[in-house]
Amino acid sequence: MGNTFGHLFRVTTFGESHGGGVGVVIDGCPPLLEISQAEIQAELDRRRPGQSRITTPRQETDTCEILSGVFEGKTLGTPIAILVRNKDTRPQDYQEMAQVYRPSHADATYDAKYGIRNWQGGGRSSARETIGRVAAGAIAKKILQQVAGVEIIAYVRRIKDLEAPIDPNTVTMEQVESNIVRCPHPDYAEKMIALIDQVRRDANSIGGVVECVARNVPKGLGSPVFDKLEADLAKGVMSLPATKGFEIGSGFAGTLLTGQEHNDEFYSENGDIRTVTNRSGGVQGGISNGENIIIRAAFKPTATIGQAQRTVNQAGESTILAAKGRHDPCVLPRAVPMVEAMVALVLCDHLLRDRAQCHLLT
């Protein structure tokens, strides 16, 4: 259990970091969507290791194969299975971690829960698992774009204490992809890259905040009460590795305002009911209101670092670990497409749910 996400657009991922491969099965994709391997690959390329000097040097092309569900360039309405083989594996780098627990990593908890663990490269807890999510997200994005012109753009908003001033309402994918840290503000991007370079040389790591905007989201998505749109977005984002916090709209800062200051007043624009401000972040009462959906995710500094740390081994004996292996000094540049994917999965699922329930009798 726990490896499926979504109710109608159902995504099940599989695979460990070292083993036959990783992948995804997507059940519930509408038929007749034109989709190509290349479109999915383009998203995977944004996520893959080794894409720049500030990511892990592990060399994986992450080439995907569509095993099923697509015929003559179109989806069949049957499960779409996508497989990416593991290639550049170095199990020997992880030999020490077979016995010794990395602080703040999943090694110890996997052992405690399952009594067994593929210790090579993090096994199932590796961020490599997100390949399946990003592949599925590519399809969800295309559906959303085709049905409603939805546009989803994530970007690095903050690295450690370097916070870039960015307007989510106008940011473009081109700006985001114009630099290797994926911060759409060139000056801040430069500073962030320099900071990550420094941290990498120190065999240390840093975190930060990814922000994501979804534009042109139709009104009416979200299923109160438990499957409120913000609740499912929170779950999706908080299921990504290394996340420690989630916000929508005004978030934690919004708690410093009074209701009179915080409320988004309504106005009418060509018969469409809009809000003057958007502290709600595009969602009211768990349902999208047509304004831009804006969320933020806090990513902690990467747990695996080269510096020596005190820890214990499986027997509970104290020891020192200076992790080998190839790791990201900062996960955020590669987390950007992951956040986009999760937002796309949530929105696509709720688009289908809304069509099922609320458009039948009208």
Contact 279, 294 (CB under 8 A): no
Rg of the chain over CA atoms, in angstroms?
Answer: 21
Consult the annotation and say whether 53 binds a ligand.
yes
Which residue lies nearer to a second copy by CB, 49 or 241? 241
Residues in the chain: 362
- Quote the least distance from Cβ 46 to a second copy, whole Å: 20
- Quote the least distance from Cβ 323 to a second copy, whole Å: 10
Extract the tokens encoding 208.
Answer: 């930060």
- Quote the least distance from Cβ 294 to a second copy, whole Å: 11
Which residue lies nearer to a second copy by CB, 49 or 222? 222
**288: nearest Cα among 144, 135, 140:** 144
Consult the annotation and say whether 126 binds a ligand.
yes
How far apart (Å, rounded) are the C-alpha atoms in residues 125 and 105?
Answer: 9
Which residue lies nearer to a second copy by CB, 174 or 267? 267
**207: nearest Cα among 162, 252, 246, 164:** 162
- Quote the least distance from Cβ 135 to a second copy, whole Å: 14
- Quote the least distance from Cβ 188 to a second copy, whole Å: 15
254-257, long-range: CB within 8 Å, 24+ apart, which pairs? 254/279
Extract the tokens encoding 232.
Answer: 């499912």
Consult the annotation and say whether 158 binds a ligand.
no
Consult the annotation and say whether 125 binds a ligand.
yes
Consult the annotation and say whether 47 binds a ligand.
yes
The helix/strand/coil state of 41 is helix
- Quote the least distance from Cβ 329 to a second copy, whole Å: 8
Consult the annotation and say whether 285 binds a ligand.
yes
Extract the tokens encoding 301.
Answer: 């500094």
Under the phi-then-psi rule, with left for phi > 0, alpha for psi from -120 to 50, and beta for the rest, what region is 242?
A: left
Contact 126, 136 (CB under 8 A): no
Extract the tokens encoding 362.
Answer: 């009208």
Which residue lies nearer to a second copy by CB, 194 or 257? 257
Which residue lies nearer to a second copy by CB, 69 or 184? 69
Which residue shows structure tokens 């034109």? 34
Burial of 10 (0-12, 13-18, 19+ CB in 10 A): middle
Consult the annotation and say whether 102 binds a ligand.
no
How far apart (Å, rounded) are the C-alpha atoms in residues 269 and 322?
Answer: 60
- Quote the least distance from Cβ 193 to a second copy, whole Å: 17
Which residue lies nearer to a second copy by CB, 51 or 145? 145
Contact 242, 333 (CB under 8 A): no
Which residue lies nearer to a second copy by CB, 186 or 285? 285
**45: nearest Cα among 24, 67, 60, 25:** 60
How far apart (Å, rounded) are the C-alpha atoms in residues 61 and 84?
Answer: 9
Consult the annotation and say whether 302 binds a ligand.
yes
Consult the annotation and say whether 268 binds a ligand.
no
- Quote the least distance from Cβ 82 to a second copy, whole Å: 10
Which residue lies nearer to a second copy by CB, 35 or 176? 35
Consult the annotation and say whether 353 binds a ligand.
no
Binding-site residue numbers for FMN are 124-126, 285, 300-304, 326
Binding-site residue numbers for NADP(+) are 47, 53
Binding-site residue numbers are 47, 53, 124-126, 285, 300-304, 326
